[in-house]
Each structure stands twice: as structure tokens, then as C-alpha cells.
């Protein structure tokens, strides 16, 4: 039970947003921790590699592929959420107006899934870049890792962004259902 006078049914959007923020913070913190270990704790190679290491190049490729792939996955998850809502018997018009309806409970899982997948793609590129730096001492690994951390921070889903995604998804499903009903 919540310590406030609100019931769990009205607390759920706040709990879902906290969960999203905790997941994001833990993924970013993991990359930053590994980066700090690579910079200050782990031994450095005696001499940086002469050429650009293949692992650094691979981390760039993973980053380049991960950014649009993350966006694509986000769109596919949103479409999946809309399809689920359309297939359900939920009152979407009421849900679009009031966030305490079951439609939002259903959609928040899709949001969390796409958020985790997108961040995992960025995190993977960052870890690969850090491993490249540890193995070769080449600064390109640090640059790629830093870029991925900045990208993760830029794509941070704050409560307003989460709420917008949820509301827009339910509204779009509601509009599509209304258009389908009008065609019949």
C-alpha cells in the first residue's frame, strides 16, 4: 500500500515511471562504472596500438547500427501496443482521457520493453568500445563509449516523455478504433 491517501490504482503511473527511471539509471551507471574502471583501476597497455583496433571499428559499427535499430524497435513496439489495444475490449476513449484505465497498464509494458532494448543496444556498443580501449589503449574506444553515454543521456525517458508516449499510443488506438467503427 502507498503511504499517501492514494490507492494503488492511482499510484501506478508514478510507479511505472519510477521503474523506467531506475532501469535507465542502472544501465547508464553500469557503463560509467566500467568506463571509470578502465580509466583508473585496470592496467593500461604499455604502448597504445599503432593502428585503429578492429574492436574500436566494430564498436562504431555496432553504434551506427544500434541507433536506427533502436528507433525501429521503438516504432514496432508502439505499433504492437496499438494492435493489442485494438484487439482488446477496453474502452479506449475513456482511457485516453483518464490514465487510470487498464489500457495504460497494458501499454506501459510495451514502453518498458522498447526502452530496455534501445538502451541495451547503446550499452552494448559502449561496453565494446571500453573493452577496445582496455585491450589496445587506443582513445577511439573512449570516444565511442563517451558518445554512447551521451546518446543514452539524450534519450533518457523522463516522466513527461513516458507519459506522452503512453497517452499518444492510447489515443492513436482510440482514433483507429473510431475510424474502423465509422467504416462499418
**How many domains are there within the chain?**
1
Q: Give the burial string for 24-52 (b: 16+ CB within 10 Å, else e).
A: beebbeebeebbeebeeeeeeeeeebeee
Answer whether residue 15 is part of any domain.
no
State how far the Cα of 138 lies from the Cα of 54, in Å rounded to an integer.
Answer: 11
Answer whether residue 4 is part of any domain.
no
Look at residue 100 in the predicted model and tell me its pLDDT. Answer: 60
Answer whether residue 23 is part of any domain.
no
Answer whether residue 50 is part of any domain.
no
Answer whether residue 53 is part of any domain.
no
pLDDT digits (tens, 9 = 90+) for 15-43: 888 999 999 999 999 999 999 999 999 98
State how far the Cα of 184 lies from the Cα of 174, in Å rounded to an integer.
Answer: 16
pLDDT digits (tens, 9 = 90+) for 48-77: 768 889 999 999 999 999 999 999 999 999
pLDDT digits (tens, 9 = 90+) for 112-142: 999 999 999 999 999 999 999 999 989 999 9
pTM of the model: 0.84
Answer whether residue 80 is part of any domain.
yes
| Domain membership of residue 142 as a residue range | 73-184
Amino acid at each position: 500500500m502507498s503511504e499517501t491517501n492514494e490507492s494503488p490504482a492511482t499510484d501506478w503511473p508514478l510507479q511505472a515511471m519510477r521503474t523506467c527511471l531506475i532501469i535507465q539509471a542502472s544501465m547508464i551507471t553500469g557503463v560509467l562504472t566500467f568506463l571509470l574502471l578502465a580509466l583508473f583501476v585496470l592496467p593500461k597497455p604499455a604502448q597504445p596500438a599503432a593502428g585503429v583496433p578492429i574492436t574500436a571499428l566494430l564498436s562504431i559499427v555496432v553504434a551506427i547500427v544500434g541507433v536506427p535499430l533502436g528507433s525501429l524497435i521503438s516504432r514496432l513496439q508502439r505499433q504492437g501496443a496499438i494492435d493489442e489495444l485494438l484487439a482488446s475490449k477496453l474502452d479506449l476513449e475513456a482511457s485516453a482521457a483518464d490514465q487510470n484505465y487498464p489500457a495504460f497498464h497494458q501499454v506501459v509494458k510495451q514502453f518498458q520493453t522498447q526502452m530496455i532494448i534501445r538502451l541495451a543496444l547503446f550499452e552494448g556498443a559502449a561496453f565494446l568500445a571500453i573493452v577496445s580501449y582496455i585491450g589496445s589503449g587506443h582513445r577511439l574506444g573512449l570516444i565511442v563509449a563517451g558518445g554512447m553515454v551521451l546518446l543514452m543521456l539524450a534519450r533518457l525517458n523522463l516522466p513527461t516523455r513516458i507519459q506522452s508516449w503512453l497517452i499518444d499510443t492510447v489515443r492513436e488506438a482510440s482514433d483507429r478504433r473510431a475510424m474502423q467503427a465509422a467504416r462499418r
